[in-house]
Amino acid sequence: MDHNSSSDLVVIGQDDEAQLYGFEKALLRILEKHDLPIESIFVPIDERDIVFKNIENVLKKISPERKPQSIYLSKFAAAVAAGLFDAALNYLWDETIFELRRRVAQYDLSYFFDNAIPNVEKRKKLSSSDDLKKIEDSELIYGAREIELISELGFKHLDYIRYMRNWASAAHPNQNMITGLQLISWLETCIKEVISLPLSNALVEIRQLLTNIKSISISDIEAREIATSCLSLTKDQINNVVSGFFGIYTRPDTTSQTRQNIRRILPLLWDRVDEPTRQQMGNNYGKYASIGDQERKKLSRELLELVSATPYIPDEYRVLEIEDAIENLLLAHRELNNFYNEPVFARALTNIVGPTGKVPKRAYKKYVLGLVEVFLTNGNGVAWNAEPIYLSLINLFDAEQALIAVLSFNEDNIASSLQFELCRKKYRELLDVLKINVSAPAVADLIEDIQKFEGPLDRLRDDHRIKQKLANLLKIIG
């Protein structure tokens, strides 16, 4: 007979209580012989009996194939028999964690680590199944919940058992009393939520998808078919899949074929991704930038640009990028051959700003004044391939940005440009566009006064009436 089998130990629960009393008395005699404490060492016999009267029905939930591998459950039963419930809880948790690690390893490790470990530096050190031992139990069950290896309710139950294991088991010195009903209930929970839980159809589908994008080339038609099949996934599952794509794409060892597969599929799923997940992808870019991981920073930007999600990059990094993009655009604008060079830098700026025109406040002035300067032209001609880009970005100005643009005549370089006929014409066009975006009546009045101004626009800022209007406006808007 295999004495490590959990099913063998079920027999103890069917024996007479006298055997448990005899076993306990023998242990107490040994402890007394060596002058060791004997008070409050063992759980009362009737509590142990509760466990053994129920354990057979609970263990039936485990498949016959799985039982012979359940060595910690055998130790659990042995600890129960000895009256050491704190040790029994510890063994139960060991069995649960062992099974959870096994399931994660069989599923998709990269996908799991990407969802379970938000810390970029820690995540970089995790790749193999052996690394599962390097993460905390709390991270393991959190990650299992994130990829839906366990349910939300199962997570809550397991998190409670984890807490009890930490503070009421042999894992730490304690004097807590665990009852037989509690212990058998926790055993049932661990078996139901982890040890004997089958994979859901959705989870099997996700696992297959992750396997396919790493192993085969996916065509555009197949990508659309995959996106259609993903309609059956919940929003949380879609979020997890996309987070997994992000993690796979930004790993340095990912193949070009896999990245191409992700580029085909991701845009088709992006509309279903929620805001927190999008923000997390932007934050990951910021984390790579902050630790100087240039390769992952570059790869994460590629994905963000693919789905027009660069506005989700943290503001502190976007400010630098927007200011750099404006400086590059202005440099091209002020040099020879600007008509040919500007469109490239204009498109680069659009990629950074994104389709919503979202710009951090710290970059407002440089961004707006830069766009005003290039829109006004250099006085010699319009960069026709770039102007539609400038107009699209100007049309996205909010009220504050529009005000900066209206008041740009106060800036030296803009005032200097206004001495040229073409620049004056473009400035008046600009005012027509900005009228739509201003909300304060005082700003609208100022625009009207500027449009009626008959003097040279490059001397606009020196006009007494305009200066008075401007002073009053600044008092009104603070």
**Looking at residue 203, what is its pLDDT?**
79
> Are the CB atoms for 208 and 226 separated by under 8 Å?
no
Residue 64 lies in a domain: yes
Residue 198 confidence (pLDDT) above 90: no
146 and 162 fall within a common domain: yes
Q: Which of 150, 177, 195 is the last residue of a domain?
A: 195
Q: How far is CA 201 from CA 198, 206, 230, 268, 406, in A?
A: 9, 9, 12, 22, 58
Question: Could you tell me which residues come within 8 angstroms of residue 148 by beta carbon, excluding any fewer than 6 positions away?
Answer: 200, 202, 203, 236, 237, 240
pLDDT mean across residues, the chain: 86
> Are the CB atoms for 422 and 383 separated by under 8 Å?
no
Dist. CA 46–CA 179, nearest whole Å: 10
Q: Tell which residue, 166, 157, 112, has the closest CA to residue 139.
A: 112
Q: Which two tokens stand for residue 59?
A: 């263990």
Q: Tell which residue, 223, 231, 258, has the closest CA to residue 108.
A: 258
The confidence band for 278, taking pLDDT boundaries of 50, 70 and 90, is very high
Residue 118 lies in a domain: yes
First to last CA, the chain: 87
Please write the tens of the pLDDT for every residue from 82-113.
Answer: 888 989 999 999 999 999 998 888 877 888 88
Residue 1 lies in a domain: no
Q: Domain count for the chain, please give it.
A: 3
Dist. CA 443–CA 215, nearest whole Å: 59
Task: Report DSSP letters for 24-60, one per residue.
Answer: HHHHHHHHHHTT---TT-S--HHHHHHHHHHHHHHHT
Q: Which of 170, 195, 220 is the last residue of a domain?
A: 195
306 and 320 fall within a common domain: no
398 and 284 fall within a common domain: no
More confident residue, 474 or 12: 474
347 and 414 fall within a common domain: yes
125 and 165 fall within a common domain: yes
Dist. CA 342–CA 329, nearest whole Å: 6
The three-point CA angle 120-122-126 to 5° equals 110
Residue 387 lies in a domain: yes
Dist. CA 307–CA 267, nearest whole Å: 6
Dist. CA 44–CA 412, nearest whole Å: 89
148 and 206 fall within a common domain: no
**Looking at residue 173, what is its pLDDT?**
52
10 and 149 fall within a common domain: yes
Residue 256 lies in a domain: yes
280 and 324 fall within a common domain: no
Neighbours of 304 (CB within 10 A): 23
What DSSP designation does 16 have? Answer: -
Look up the pTM and report it.
Answer: 0.64
% pLDDT > 90, the chain: 42
161 and 233 fall within a common domain: no
24 and 136 fall within a common domain: yes
Residue 5 confidence (pLDDT) above 60: no
Diameter of the chain by CA atoms? 111
Residue 394 lies in a domain: yes
236 and 155 fall within a common domain: no
For the chain, what's the residue count? 478
Dist. CA 434–CA 426, nearest whole Å: 12
The confidence band for 331, taking pLDDT boundaries of 50, 70 and 90, is very high
Question: Quick one: average pLDDT of 354-376?
Answer: 93
The dihedral through the CA atoms of 451, 456, 461, 467 has a sign that is negative
**Looking at residue 169, what is its pLDDT?**
59
- Domain that residue 356 falls in: 315-477
Residue 176 lies in a domain: yes
25 and 73 fall within a common domain: yes
Q: Which of 312, 330, 365 is the last residue of a domain?
A: 312
